[in-house]
Chain A
Amino acid sequence: MTMLSPTVVRIGARSIFGRWRGILLFALPVILIGLAALVRGLAGQDVDATESVLYGLGLVVVVPLVALLSTSGLLAAEIDDGSIAYLLAKPVSRYTIVASKLLVALACVVAFGAVPMLVAGFVLLPSSPSVAVGFAVAALLAGTAYCAVFAWLSVLTRHAVVFGLVYLLIWEGLLGGLLDGIRWLSVTRWSAEVVDRIASLDLVDDLPLSYALIALAVVMAGGVWLTGRKLQAFNLTGDE
């Protein structure tokens, strides 16, 4: 059994820009780069301002939202309307279906998360390219981990978008800012540690890089595994 299905990738890529999701996916990086340009114009090349925009808006808001929008569009929407049955009623491994859909989500993370982050970084602080690169790498890693989390949420509940937003706002956003210990259990903090290491910044204290990288990898692999396992036991119940 092959790991990826070109057919699932193709259908996924065509489905992702449907309706309001496509508009939001394009709007988020535009807002990020727009704000970066504005800040640069007002404050000049400023490290603190750069950190605020790329971390506070980019890594905390734009990247997780891109992951949530693309993953829920690929999985939750199809589960909700039942069209996923056409993929599942096939002699294709569930892991192949999950991996193929996540590949599309990953492409979105690159196009609407990592690349805009790189651009915004260069707009804000062209004098130190390592900041832009660091945030772009972090965006890619965090985005991938978020996609795996949201894929699992999509097969777990009919309200994946709502739960995803609550998780992002409460756990990653609110509690992550209030409680220092959250850094051990926060995708955004783990990826921030990667930025710290590449760009020599200090976004998170006292978090070993090795732990951050392993934790990210565990979330990615665990999400794919749990999602595939859940899809093997997919219930297609009609209107009854």
Chain B
Amino acid sequence: MSTITIDHVSRWFRNVVAVNDVSMTIGPGVTGLLGPNGAGKSTLIAMMSGFLAPSTGTVTLDGEPLWRNEDVYRKVGLVPEREALYDFLTGRQFVVAMAELHGLADAGAAAQRALAVIEMTEAQDRPISTYSKGMRQRVKMASALVHDPAVLLLDEPFNGMDPRQRIHLMELLRQWGSESRTVLFSSHILEEVEQVARQIEVVVSGRHAASGDFGAIRRLMTDRPNRFVLRTSDDRLLASALLGDASVRGARLRSEGGIEVEAADFGRFSEVLPRLARDHDVSLHEVTPTDESLESVFAYLVSS
């Protein structure tokens, strides 16, 4: 059983902040790293796999640093996002080579096992250059599995997979999680993550926006009162109309213009607001959630 600990980690590239003060613990079971493209998921995975140094903070695996530490790869299997492989090798030659580099006693047998798990035995003797995107993805998976690692890190593993391969990979992820491996995969698609992951970490704009199982993430959106600032063509008219609806707990006209609304039920509020605006012929110029910690989660989850 292995645990990755990310402790107050930031990473910037020149003056661009890719990861901003993130702390999280990835333990046994399947964890989904969810966030839009460019949110910092790949940067986080690069740091968790020892391929990037944090600018500040620490990333450790069972207390050991991951940066500049080749020995951690005995415990870690990495499936990078990029597609490039050794195209001139066959799938089997590639996975055998990976097993040899791990110093496994019987590299051939280990490769066969890994190729069988990801159902690539049939195409294993064809050059990788002839493989489809999904097959490449599976060979990458076999290479990460070949030494039976305690930790598996997969960067956007569902990319390029057809629905059948997707289902198969989901089953595999669940199975590895149930074997007490620490499995982390990134995705920008909520549906993928909620079907497999026991734990979901949401990353938006480099920040750790939310954490928990799917229910917890949902509750974040629905159960808590949410505050918004609205800019409209007629603040007073819309504010009075909003107060008449049960989904709104309070509405206040701001001195600098706009309405501050506290919604009791986010789901209902999101339906009521545009309807009321239309019924009263008020234009909505801007709807901004003001709860800092939730703003990003909303922006992302609502749009997906």
Contact = CB atoms under 8 A, between A and B. Distances in A.
Nearest to A94: B70
Interface stretch (B95-103, B211-219, B246-254, B282-290): B95-103
Most buried by A among B37, B43, B84: B84
Contacts of A93: 70
B82 A86 contact: no
Interface stretch (A116-124, A132-140, A171-179, A228-236): A228-236
B139 to A, nearest CB: 10
Given A83-B86, A85-B51, A240-B38, A90 B73 contact: yes
Given A5-B101, A91-B73, A91-B74, A238 B81 contact: yes
Given A11-B97, A86-B98, A239 B70 contact: no
Contact of A91 (B13, B40, B84, B102): B102
A88 B72 CA distance: 11
B73 A89 contact: yes
B102 A90 contact: yes
Nearest to B51: A236
A82 B82 contact: yes
Nearest to B52: A235
B303 to A, nearest CB: 19
Interface string B89-118: 100000001101111000000000000000
A88 B50 CA distance: 10
B88 interface: yes
A240 B49 CA distance: 16
Nearest to B103: A91
Interface in A55-93: 81-83, 85-93
B114 to A, nearest CB: 14
A136 B72 CA distance: 44
Contacts of A240: 18, 37-38, 40-43
Contacts of B61: none
B81 A11 contact: no
Q: Interface size for chain B: under 10, 10 to 19, 20 to 34, or 35 or more residues?
A: 35 or more
B73 A238 contact: no
Contacts of A18: 88
Interface string B70-87: 111110111011101110
A238 B84 contact: no
A87 to B, nearest CB: 7
Contacts of A238: 42-43, 45-46, 80-82, 155
A91 B51 CA distance: 13
A90 B81 contact: no
Contact of A239 (B42, B78, B103): B42
A15 B101 contact: no
Contact of B51 (A7, A14, A88): A88
A127 interface: no
Nearest to B156: A238
Nearest to A229: B68
Given A5-B101, A232-B68, A238-B42, A89 B49 contact: yes
B52 A86 contact: no
A18 B103 CA distance: 27
A159 interface: no
Contacts of B33: none
B143 A86 contact: yes
A237 B88 CA distance: 24
Given A89-B49, A233-B53, A239 B74 contact: no
A10 interface: yes
Nearest to B102: A90
A141 B50 CA distance: 36
A102 to B, nearest CB: 17
A18 B85 CA distance: 13
Given A93-B70, A235-B46, A238-B155, A7 B97 contact: yes
B256 to A, nearest CB: 36
Contacts of B80: 82, 85, 236, 238
**4 tightest A-B contacts by CB?**
A238-B42, A81-B84, A236-B51, A82-B82
Interface of B: 13, 18, 37-38, 40-43, 45-46, 49-53, 67-68, 70-74, 76-78, 80-82, 84-86, 88-89, 97-98, 100-103, 143, 155
Interface of A: 5-8, 10-11, 14-15, 18, 81-83, 85-94, 232-240
